[in-house]
Amino acid sequence: MSVLLIEEVGPATSVQDFGRYGALRYGLGTTGAMDRVGLAYANVLVGQDWHAPLIELGPLPIKLKAKEGTVRLALSGAMRGISLRGQAMAMNESFCLAEGESVMIRAARGGVFSYLAVEGGIAGSPTFGSFSVHRRAGLGSPFARPLESGDQLVVGDASVMEGERRLPAPPVVAGPIRCVLGPQDDFFSADTIAQFQATEWTISATSDRMGYRLEGSPLTHARTANIVSDGIANGTIQIPGTGQPLLLLAERGTTGGYPKIATVITADLGRAAQTPVGAGIQFQAIPIEEAQALARDLARMIAGLPQRVEVLGGGSLSSEALLAGNLAGHATNALDPAV
């Protein structure tokens, strides 16, 4: 195994995977990666299961060092500059970090979250079936909190491959974030539902992984602003008494007592989560059958990623990395007398 040292890191960077399922009835939310497409791309590039644990980077820079051994990394999700050995590295392409080397990954551009996967994975012990950090619940592995400068992760060793791996960039989907109305859309008039879809909402600076506060012209309840608490899904859009929507995301609670005007569809959850603070977001309601078809399309795209991986020419490890791996084992001079 190798050791990856977190030399510098901002807030909102943590170990995440597909999420923690099966415990909602106990009041434990799913958490997991905010953008599953980024999660899948990065993991597939280093030969991991698409849903495996990796490092979810928040919007600020991070610097990492291969303290022991050589590690293979791949970065996907929100675009960032990557600097290694004085050269710019590409997103959606694997690369090796030899022992003693550091890589600088700059702040996100045009998005929020990026995903850094490691060949051989991150060592730890899952809780309720997941490594995902749930800060409020104090769960996660190998640290039950966001990463901090000085943290060390035990990770897999880089293998020797014919060439590094690359994936074409994920398809760009433009337009409003699609949603399905309900389950309490009957708490709002037709005019208010039309206003909800026509408004370009602004992501508030008070947003986090639990949910995004949306700022704009307040929505009016046709009935009460309070209901008997019921279940909350990833992507639920609640309308509290203020009339300012709350888009609930990965680290949401399990129940809520405000009417839910709509729910973001599975295929657009990552797009919604990648909307930066201060940027605008707009919603468009679609039929549930269309949402289900788009979810199936997304699942098929993710399942097919390993078949789309391209192998780049050239060696994948430096001579220093190969020597550090001790690949030849014990060397013997054939001219020396037999011992």
Q: What is the pLDDT of residue 324?
A: 40
Please write the tens of the pLDDT for every residue from 208-237. Answer: 999 999 999 999 999 899 999 999 999 999
Q: What is the DSSP string of 107-171?
A: --EEEEEEEEEETT-B----BTTB---BTTTTB-SS-SS---TT-EEEEPPPPP-SS-EE-PPPP
* Residue 68 structure tokens: 């022991």
3-state secondary structure of 323: helix
272 phi and psi, to 5 degrees?
-65, -45
Domains (range + CATH), the chain: 2-170+309-324 (no CATH), 177-299 (2.40.100.10)
For residue 106, with 0-12 CB atoms within 10 Å meaning exposed, 13-18 middle and 19 or more buried, which class applies?
middle
Please write the tens of the pLDDT for every residue from 16-29. Answer: 999 999 989 889 99
Integer Cα distance of 52 and 152 in angstroms? 19
Whole-model pTM?
A: 0.91
Count other C-beta atoms under 10 Å from residue 308's C-beta.
12
Tell me which residue has tokens 């030899």.
Answer: 98
Tell me which residue has tokens 């959850």.
Answer: 269
Integer Cα distance of 64 and 85 in angstroms? 13
3-state secondary structure of 268: helix
Q: What is the pLDDT of residue 334?
A: 46
Q: What is the pLDDT of residue 161?
A: 81
Integer Cα distance of 151 and 188 in angstroms? 48
Q: What is the pLDDT of residue 42?
A: 98
* CB-CB contact of 239 with 261 (8 Å): yes
Q: What is the pLDDT of residue 308?
A: 96
Q: What is the pLDDT of residue 313?
A: 77
Residues of the chain with pLDDT under 50: 315-339
Q: What is the pLDDT of residue 314?
A: 56
Report helix angle 36-45 to 288-303, nearest 10. Answer: 10
